[in-house]
């Protein structure tokens, strides 16, 4: 019987086929582990086009007081604030920024960011909030705004806003 003979319902891989199959499985397993590790982000993380942080359990009033201070301190504009069933949603207006050199090399012609904060009610008055910094660009090939890789420099530019908001939230919880 040859290695590919299936007349008995069995298939035996030859040495080279077994090595190819083993190599393919190893690559698929490692690739899957890397992809799942990057995509999950855990408590904090970067998706390719945004920066996300788990802000934790916060009351609505505490978040809104902190957010109000950040809007004034950093001259942001709150564009949208919604409540639907168990969810709260806050969105700042898009803020245009200078295109970074690394983005220019990728053909980016314009860039903008906005902050989105979403909360899910856990119990009366307490929500689990998430911070998200979104990144959109235009390019010569795609002149409409679209999500794009977020450069680490942009994350660092917005980190003080997140840090100050979290400081306000933490001190607000203690009051």
Q: Decide which of 125 and 52 is more confident.
A: 52
Region 14-18 average pLDDT: 46
Q: How confident is the model at residue 173 (pLDDT cuts 50, 70, 90)?
A: low
Maximum distance among all Cα pairs of the chain, rounded to whole angstroms:
80
For residue range 108-144, list pLDDT tens digits in order.
Answer: 999 999 999 999 999 988 999 999 999 999 999 999 9
Locate 160 and state its tokens.
Answer: 């003080």
Please give the model's pTM, rounded to 2 decimal places. 0.71
Those residues whose C-beta lies under 8 Å from the C-beta of residue 137, and which sit 6 or more positions away, are 99, 103, 108, 109, 110, 111, 112, 145, 146, 148
For residue range 149-170, list pLDDT tens digits in order.
Answer: 999 999 999 999 999 999 999 9
Query: Could you give phi then psi for residue 98, rounded to 5 degrees?
Result: -65, 145
């Amino acid at each position: 019987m040859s290695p590919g003979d299936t007349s008995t319902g069995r298939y035996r891989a030859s040495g080279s086929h077994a090595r190819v199959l083993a190599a393919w499985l190893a690559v698929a397993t490692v690739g899957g582990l890397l992809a799942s590790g990057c995509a999950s982000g855990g408590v904090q993380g970067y998706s390719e086009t945004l920066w996300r942080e788990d802000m934790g359990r916060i009351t609505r009033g505490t978040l809104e007081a902190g957010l109000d201070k950040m809007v004034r301190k950093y001259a942001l504009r709150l564009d949208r604030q919604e409540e639907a069933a168990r969810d709260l949603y806050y969105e700042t207006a898009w803020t245009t920024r200078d295109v970074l050199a690394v983005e220019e090399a990728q053909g980016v012609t314009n860039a903008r960011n906005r902050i989105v904060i979403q909360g899910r009610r856990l119990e009366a008055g307490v929500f689990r909030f998430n911070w998200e910094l979104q990144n959109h660009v235009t390019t010569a090939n795609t002149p409409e705004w679209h999500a794009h890789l977020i450069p680490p420099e942009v994350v660092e530019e917005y980190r003080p806003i997140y840090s100050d908001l979290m400081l306000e939230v933490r001190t607000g919880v203690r009051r």
